[in-house]
Protein backbone atom coordinates (compact mmCIF):
# COMPACT_ATOMS: atom_id res chain seq x y z
CA UNK A 1 0.00 0.00 0.00
CA UNK A 2 1.27 3.46 -0.91
CA UNK A 3 1.93 5.44 2.26
CA UNK A 4 0.31 8.54 0.72
CA UNK A 5 -2.97 6.75 -0.03
CA UNK A 6 -5.74 9.11 1.08
CA UNK A 7 -9.48 8.54 0.90
CA UNK A 8 -12.52 10.64 1.68
CA UNK A 9 -13.91 8.09 4.12
CA UNK A 10 -12.57 4.95 5.73
CA UNK A 11 -15.17 2.81 7.45
CA UNK A 12 -13.92 0.38 10.07
CA UNK A 13 -16.14 -2.69 9.88
CA UNK A 14 -18.48 -4.08 7.23
CA UNK A 15 -21.67 -4.95 9.08
CA UNK A 16 -25.13 -3.51 8.39
CA UNK A 17 -24.30 -0.02 9.71
CA UNK A 18 -21.05 0.15 7.75
CA UNK A 19 -22.50 -1.19 4.51
CA UNK A 20 -25.52 1.11 4.72
CA UNK A 21 -23.24 4.09 5.25
CA UNK A 22 -21.14 3.01 2.26
CA UNK A 23 -24.24 2.81 0.05
CA UNK A 24 -25.01 6.43 0.85
CA UNK A 25 -21.48 7.80 0.58
CA UNK A 26 -20.57 6.04 -2.65
CA UNK A 27 -23.84 7.03 -4.35
CA UNK A 28 -22.67 10.61 -3.88
CA UNK A 29 -19.22 9.85 -5.32
CA UNK A 30 -17.52 10.01 -1.94
CA UNK A 31 -14.42 7.81 -2.12
CA UNK A 32 -15.08 5.08 0.46
CA UNK A 33 -12.97 2.19 1.74
CA UNK A 34 -14.17 -0.38 4.28
CA UNK A 35 -11.96 -2.63 6.40
CA UNK A 36 -13.43 -5.83 7.84
CA UNK A 37 -11.37 -8.25 9.91
CA UNK A 38 -14.07 -10.90 10.24
CA UNK A 39 -17.19 -11.67 8.22
CA UNK A 40 -18.66 -9.16 5.79
CA UNK A 41 -22.13 -8.53 7.12
CA UNK A 42 -21.13 -8.83 10.79
CA UNK A 43 -23.41 -10.62 13.23
CA UNK A 44 -26.24 -10.39 10.70
CA UNK A 45 -24.33 -12.64 8.31
CA UNK A 46 -24.02 -15.41 10.88
CA UNK A 47 -27.62 -15.15 12.08
CA UNK A 48 -29.59 -18.06 10.70
CA UNK A 49 -32.88 -16.27 10.12
CA UNK A 50 -34.03 -12.66 10.61
CA UNK A 51 -37.75 -12.20 11.16
CA UNK A 52 -37.96 -8.54 12.18
CA UNK A 53 -36.17 -6.65 9.41
CA UNK A 54 -38.70 -4.33 7.70
CA UNK A 55 -39.76 -5.24 4.19
CA UNK A 56 -39.38 -9.00 4.47
CA UNK A 57 -42.77 -10.28 5.72
CA UNK A 58 -41.64 -13.90 5.53
CA UNK A 59 -38.24 -13.18 7.06
CA UNK A 60 -34.85 -13.43 5.40
CA UNK A 61 -31.71 -15.48 5.95
CA UNK A 62 -29.04 -13.42 7.67
CA UNK A 63 -26.44 -14.28 5.05
CA UNK A 64 -28.80 -13.28 2.24
CA UNK A 65 -29.44 -9.88 3.82
CA UNK A 66 -25.72 -9.35 4.40
CA UNK A 67 -24.89 -10.33 0.81
CA UNK A 68 -27.53 -7.93 -0.48
CA UNK A 69 -26.08 -5.04 1.51
CA UNK A 70 -22.58 -5.88 0.30
CA UNK A 71 -23.61 -6.15 -3.37
CA UNK A 72 -25.47 -2.85 -3.19
CA UNK A 73 -22.51 -1.04 -1.64
CA UNK A 74 -20.10 -2.51 -4.19
CA UNK A 75 -22.44 -1.60 -7.07
CA UNK A 76 -22.01 2.06 -6.16
CA UNK A 77 -18.23 1.70 -5.85
CA UNK A 78 -17.45 0.81 -2.24
CA UNK A 79 -13.97 -0.71 -1.82
CA UNK A 80 -14.34 -3.50 0.75
CA UNK A 81 -11.06 -4.92 2.01
CA UNK A 82 -10.41 -7.83 4.33
CA UNK A 83 -8.02 -6.49 6.90
CA UNK A 84 -7.80 -5.09 10.40
CA UNK A 85 -7.46 -1.52 11.61
CA UNK A 86 -5.16 -1.54 14.61
CA UNK A 87 -5.04 2.16 15.44
CA UNK A 88 -6.59 5.51 14.57
CA UNK A 89 -4.37 8.58 14.96
CA UNK A 90 -5.71 12.11 14.71
CA UNK A 91 -3.51 14.14 12.38
CA UNK A 92 -5.79 17.15 12.34
CA UNK A 93 -7.18 17.58 8.83
CA UNK A 94 -6.87 13.86 8.18
CA UNK A 95 -6.87 10.69 10.23
CA UNK A 96 -4.15 8.10 9.99
CA UNK A 97 -5.23 4.47 10.26
CA UNK A 98 -2.70 1.76 10.89
CA UNK A 99 -3.91 -1.42 9.24
CA UNK A 100 -2.69 -4.91 8.44
CA UNK A 101 -2.20 -3.59 4.88
CA UNK A 102 -0.11 -0.66 6.04
CA UNK A 103 -0.85 2.99 6.68
CA UNK A 104 -3.89 4.69 5.17
CA UNK A 105 -5.27 8.20 5.57
CA UNK A 106 -8.80 9.52 5.50
CA UNK A 107 -10.58 12.84 5.70
CA UNK A 108 -13.25 11.19 7.84
CA UNK A 109 -13.58 7.88 9.64
CA UNK A 110 -16.67 5.92 10.60
CA UNK A 111 -16.26 3.33 13.34
CA UNK A 112 -18.86 0.61 12.75
CA UNK A 113 -17.15 -2.44 14.19
CA UNK A 114 -20.22 -3.62 16.09
CA UNK A 115 -20.29 -5.72 19.23
CA UNK A 116 -20.11 -9.42 19.85
CA UNK A 117 -22.09 -11.38 22.40
CA UNK A 118 -20.16 -12.69 25.38
CA UNK A 119 -19.99 -16.45 25.16
CA UNK A 120 -20.17 -19.05 27.90
CA UNK A 121 -17.34 -21.00 26.32
CA UNK A 122 -18.90 -24.37 27.12
CA UNK A 123 -19.30 -27.57 25.08
CA UNK A 124 -22.24 -27.40 22.68
CA UNK A 125 -22.46 -23.60 22.57
CA UNK A 126 -20.66 -23.10 19.28
CA UNK A 127 -21.95 -26.33 17.78
CA UNK A 128 -25.59 -25.31 18.20
CA UNK A 129 -25.18 -21.59 17.52
CA UNK A 130 -28.31 -20.32 15.71
CA UNK A 131 -29.70 -23.87 15.86
CA UNK A 132 -30.80 -23.88 19.46
CA UNK A 133 -28.34 -21.44 21.06
CA UNK A 134 -29.13 -17.75 20.67
CA UNK A 135 -28.10 -14.32 21.92
CA UNK A 136 -31.06 -12.18 20.80
CA UNK A 137 -34.60 -12.75 22.05
CA UNK A 138 -36.26 -10.29 19.68
CA UNK A 139 -34.47 -11.91 16.76
CA UNK A 140 -35.14 -15.55 17.56
CA UNK A 141 -37.75 -15.82 20.30
CA UNK A 142 -40.65 -16.39 17.90
CA UNK A 143 -39.13 -19.71 16.85
CA UNK A 144 -40.01 -21.12 20.28
CA UNK A 145 -43.76 -20.81 20.55
CA UNK A 146 -45.04 -23.17 23.23
CA UNK A 147 -41.51 -24.50 23.80
CA UNK A 148 -39.35 -24.78 26.92
CA UNK A 149 -36.33 -22.50 27.16
CA UNK A 150 -33.27 -21.95 29.30
CA UNK A 151 -32.06 -18.37 29.73
CA UNK A 152 -28.57 -17.79 31.16
CA UNK A 153 -27.74 -14.60 33.01
CA UNK A 154 -28.72 -12.56 36.05
CA UNK A 155 -28.40 -8.96 34.90
CA UNK A 156 -30.84 -6.47 33.41
CA UNK A 157 -30.61 -7.81 29.88
CA UNK A 158 -31.18 -11.40 30.98
CA UNK A 159 -34.31 -10.47 32.94
CA UNK A 160 -35.67 -8.20 30.22
CA UNK A 161 -35.11 -10.79 27.52
CA UNK A 162 -36.51 -13.62 29.64
CA UNK A 163 -39.70 -11.64 30.23
CA UNK A 164 -39.93 -10.90 26.51
CA UNK A 165 -39.58 -14.61 25.76
CA UNK A 166 -42.65 -15.38 27.88
CA UNK A 167 -44.64 -14.15 24.87
CA UNK A 168 -43.62 -17.34 23.12
CA UNK A 169 -42.24 -19.96 25.50
CA UNK A 170 -44.37 -22.24 27.65
CA UNK A 171 -41.78 -22.15 30.44
CA UNK A 172 -38.36 -20.61 31.08
CA UNK A 173 -35.63 -21.73 33.47
CA UNK A 174 -33.45 -18.72 34.31
CA UNK A 175 -29.97 -19.84 35.37
CA UNK A 176 -28.02 -17.39 37.52
CA UNK A 177 -24.43 -18.21 38.43
CA UNK A 178 -24.32 -16.00 41.51
CA UNK A 179 -26.20 -16.10 44.83
CA UNK A 180 -28.47 -13.21 43.81
CA UNK A 181 -29.78 -11.38 40.77
CA UNK A 182 -27.77 -8.43 39.48
CA UNK A 183 -30.76 -6.89 37.74
CA UNK A 184 -32.33 -3.68 39.05
CA UNK A 185 -34.94 -3.90 41.80
CA UNK A 186 -37.64 -2.71 39.42
CA UNK A 187 -36.88 -5.50 36.97
CA UNK A 188 -36.72 -8.08 39.75
CA UNK A 189 -40.13 -6.93 40.92
CA UNK A 190 -41.49 -7.37 37.39
CA UNK A 191 -39.82 -10.75 37.18
CA UNK A 192 -41.73 -11.99 40.24
CA UNK A 193 -44.96 -11.33 38.37
CA UNK A 194 -43.84 -13.94 35.85
CA UNK A 195 -43.21 -16.71 38.41
CA UNK A 196 -45.74 -18.97 36.70
CA UNK A 197 -43.67 -18.94 33.52
CA UNK A 198 -40.14 -18.18 34.74
CA UNK A 199 -38.34 -20.24 37.38
CA UNK A 200 -35.19 -18.59 38.75
CA UNK A 201 -32.31 -20.87 39.76
CA UNK A 202 -29.54 -19.18 41.77
CA UNK A 203 -26.01 -20.52 42.28
CA UNK A 204 -26.20 -22.58 39.09
CA UNK A 205 -23.36 -22.74 36.60
CA UNK A 206 -24.03 -23.58 32.97
CA UNK A 207 -21.61 -26.34 32.02
CA UNK A 208 -22.78 -28.04 28.83
CA UNK A 209 -25.44 -27.86 26.13
CA UNK A 210 -26.59 -31.26 24.90
CA UNK A 211 -28.26 -31.95 21.58
CA UNK A 212 -29.75 -34.96 19.83
CA UNK A 213 -30.12 -35.24 16.04
CA UNK A 214 -29.02 -31.64 15.60
CA UNK A 215 -31.47 -30.20 18.14
CA UNK A 216 -30.82 -28.90 21.66
CA UNK A 217 -32.53 -31.08 24.26
CA UNK A 218 -30.99 -30.14 27.62
CA UNK A 219 -28.56 -28.02 29.59
CA UNK A 220 -26.28 -29.47 32.26
CA UNK A 221 -25.31 -27.26 35.18
CA UNK A 222 -23.86 -27.50 38.66
CA UNK A 223 -25.28 -26.25 41.93
CA UNK A 224 -22.37 -24.31 43.40
CA UNK A 225 -23.52 -24.81 47.00
CA UNK A 226 -24.08 -28.56 46.87
CA UNK A 227 -21.69 -29.29 43.99
CA UNK A 228 -24.42 -31.49 42.54
CA UNK A 229 -25.04 -31.75 38.82
CA UNK A 230 -28.46 -30.66 37.62
CA UNK A 231 -30.15 -31.01 34.24
CA UNK A 232 -32.73 -28.80 32.54
CA UNK A 233 -34.66 -30.16 29.59
CA UNK A 234 -35.11 -27.45 26.95
CA UNK A 235 -35.77 -26.75 23.30
CA UNK A 236 -33.40 -23.79 23.18
CA UNK A 237 -30.89 -21.72 25.12
CA UNK A 238 -30.66 -17.92 25.21
CA UNK A 239 -27.45 -16.47 26.64
CA UNK A 240 -27.45 -12.91 28.01
CA UNK A 241 -24.24 -12.40 29.94
CA UNK A 242 -23.24 -9.15 28.26
CA UNK A 243 -21.72 -7.71 25.12
CA UNK A 244 -18.14 -7.20 24.06
CA UNK A 245 -17.85 -4.12 21.85
CA UNK A 246 -15.17 -4.47 19.20
CA UNK A 247 -13.19 -1.47 20.39
CA UNK A 248 -9.91 -2.92 21.67
CA UNK A 249 -8.06 -1.13 18.86
CA UNK A 250 -9.22 2.24 20.27
CA UNK A 251 -7.72 1.85 23.74
CA UNK A 252 -4.74 4.17 23.09
CA UNK A 253 -6.70 6.73 21.08
CA UNK A 254 -8.41 9.95 22.12
CA UNK A 255 -11.80 8.43 21.31
CA UNK A 256 -13.91 8.19 24.46
CA UNK A 257 -15.51 4.90 25.47
CA UNK A 258 -18.24 4.25 28.03
CA UNK A 259 -17.95 1.92 31.03
CA UNK A 260 -18.41 -1.21 28.92
CA UNK A 261 -16.15 -0.06 26.10
CA UNK A 262 -18.68 1.30 23.61
CA UNK A 263 -17.90 4.45 21.64
CA UNK A 264 -19.34 7.68 23.00
CA UNK A 265 -20.77 10.11 20.45
CA UNK A 266 -22.71 13.34 20.39
CA UNK A 267 -26.11 13.76 18.71
CA UNK A 268 -24.36 13.97 15.33
CA UNK A 269 -22.75 10.56 15.90
CA UNK A 270 -19.34 12.27 16.16
CA UNK A 271 -16.79 11.06 18.70
CA UNK A 272 -14.52 13.19 20.85
CA UNK A 273 -12.14 13.30 17.87
CA UNK A 274 -13.43 15.66 15.15
CA UNK A 275 -14.00 13.82 11.89
CA UNK A 276 -14.31 10.41 13.54
CA UNK A 277 -17.86 9.11 13.79
CA UNK A 278 -19.51 5.94 15.10
CA UNK A 279 -22.69 4.08 14.21
CA UNK A 280 -24.43 0.78 14.89
CA UNK A 281 -23.90 -1.70 17.69
CA UNK A 282 -20.51 -0.29 18.69
CA UNK A 283 -22.00 3.07 19.65
CA UNK A 284 -22.92 3.78 23.26
CA UNK A 285 -26.69 3.71 23.56
CA UNK A 286 -27.27 1.52 20.52
CA UNK A 287 -30.44 -0.57 20.42
CA UNK A 288 -28.67 -3.68 19.06
CA UNK A 289 -31.12 -4.13 16.20
CA UNK A 290 -30.20 -4.53 12.53
CA UNK A 291 -32.85 -2.06 11.38
CA UNK A 292 -31.57 0.68 13.68
CA UNK A 293 -27.95 -0.08 12.70
CA UNK A 294 -28.72 0.44 9.01
CA UNK A 295 -30.57 3.64 9.87
CA UNK A 296 -27.63 4.95 11.88
CA UNK A 297 -25.30 4.06 9.04
CA UNK A 298 -27.35 6.14 6.62
CA UNK A 299 -27.53 9.02 9.11
CA UNK A 300 -23.78 8.90 9.69
CA UNK A 301 -23.13 8.99 5.94
CA UNK A 302 -25.22 12.15 5.50
CA UNK A 303 -23.50 13.81 8.47
CA UNK A 304 -20.08 12.82 7.11
CA UNK A 305 -20.99 14.33 3.73
CA UNK A 306 -21.70 17.65 5.44
CA UNK A 307 -18.46 17.36 7.38
CA UNK A 308 -16.46 16.75 4.20
CA UNK A 309 -18.08 19.68 2.41
CA UNK A 310 -16.54 21.94 5.00
CA UNK A 311 -13.11 20.35 4.90
CA UNK A 312 -10.28 20.33 2.42
CA UNK A 313 -7.11 18.30 2.70
CA UNK A 314 -3.78 19.10 1.14
CA UNK A 315 -2.30 16.03 -0.52
End-to-end CA distance of the chain: 16
d(CA 272, CA 312): 20
- Catalytic-residue membership of 140: yes
Active-site residue, selected from the candidate residues 140, 173, 235, 281: 140
Closest CA to 245 of 107, 117, 69, 104: 117
Secondary structure, 3-state, the chain: CCCCCEEEEEEECCCHHHHHHHHHHHHCCCCEEEEECCCCCHHHHCCCEECCCCCCCCCEEHHHHHHHHHHHHHHCCCEEEECCEEEEEECCCCEEEEECCEEEEEEEEEECCCEEECCCCCCCCCCCECCCEECCHHHHHHHHCCCEEEEECCCHHHHHHHHHHCCCCCEEEEECCCCCCCCCHHHHHHHHCCCCCEEEECCEEEEEEEEECCEEEEEEEEECCCCCEEEEECCEEEECCCEEECCHHHCCCCCCECCCCCECCCCCCECCCCCEEECHHHECCCCCCHHHHHHHHHHHHHHHHHHHHCCCCCC
Q: Residues, the chain, total? A: 315
Q: Which of 31, 48, 67, 139 is catalytic?
A: 139
C-alpha to C-alpha distance for 219 and 128, rounded to whole angstroms = 12
- Would you call 116 a catalytic residue per the annotation? no
d(CA 47, CA 41): 10
The catalytic position among 8, 136, 235, 281 is 136
Q: Could you confirm whether 207 is annotated as catalytic?
A: no
Q: Annotated catalytic sites, by residue?
A: 136, 139-140
Amino acid sequence: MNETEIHDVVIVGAGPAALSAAIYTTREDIDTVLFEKGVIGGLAAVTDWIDNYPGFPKGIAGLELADGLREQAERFGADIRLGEVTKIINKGEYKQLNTTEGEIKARAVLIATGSDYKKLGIPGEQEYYARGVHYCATCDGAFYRDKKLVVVGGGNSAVQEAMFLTKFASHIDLLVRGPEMRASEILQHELKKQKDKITVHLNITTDQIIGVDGKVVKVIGTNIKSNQQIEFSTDGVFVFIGLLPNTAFLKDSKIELDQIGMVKTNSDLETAVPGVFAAGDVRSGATMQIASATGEGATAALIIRKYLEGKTVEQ
